[in-house]
Structure 1
Amino acid sequence: MKNSSSVIIGVAIIIAFTILGLFLKVTFEKDSENVSNNNSEYRYELVPANDNNIIIFDKQSGEYWNKYLPSGEGPTNWEKGDSPVENSHK
C-alpha cells in the first residue's frame, strides 16, 4: 500500500512540473516574439546633423542616407553612405 501511494504521488509531481514547464515555455516564447516585433518598429532614426543637411540612419543594416537642404550647396537628392561600422551581416 505504501509503495503504490508513493508512486502515485511521484507521478503526480512529475506531471505537475511538466505542465508548469510547458506553461512557462509558451509564456516566454510569446514575450520574445513581441519584443522582436517592437524593435523593427524603430528601425530608422532621424539624426540631426546641422542646419544644412538631414541624415536618416538604418539601425538594422548600419546604412544611412543624407540630403542637403539648401539648393546650390550640394546634392539635393538623397545619397546613400557607407556604414562607419563594419556590418556583421555581410
Structure 2
Amino acid sequence: MNKYFLSFAVIFFGISILFSAYILSQALKEIAYNQQPDNTTINEDTSEWEMIVVNENNIILFNRYTGDYWTKSINRNEGNTEWEKGLLPFNF
C-alpha cells in the first residue's frame, strides 16, 4: 500500500503544480491585457506654431496650418543670427 500511496502522491503533486501554473498564467494574462500603457497621452495641441530644435545650432518654427517655416542658426562664437523664411519644396 505504501508503494501506491507514494505514486498517487507524486501524481497528485504534479497535477497540482500544472493546475496552479495554468491559473497563474491566466491571471497574469488578464492583468496584462487590461492595463493601459503609461506613455499614452492625448495631445490636443491646437497651437499654430511648432518649435523644432534640429540640433544645438539650428531652430525651426513651423506653421502647422500654412506650412510656412522660419529657420534660425545660432553660432556660439558669433551670437544670434536673424530669422530666415524657408522655401517650401512644393507649390500649392
TM range, normalised to the smaller chain? 0.3 to 0.5
TM-score, scaled to structure 2: 0.46
TM-score, scaled to structure 1: 0.47
Computing the radius of gyration over CA atoms, which structure comes out larger, 1 or 2?
2
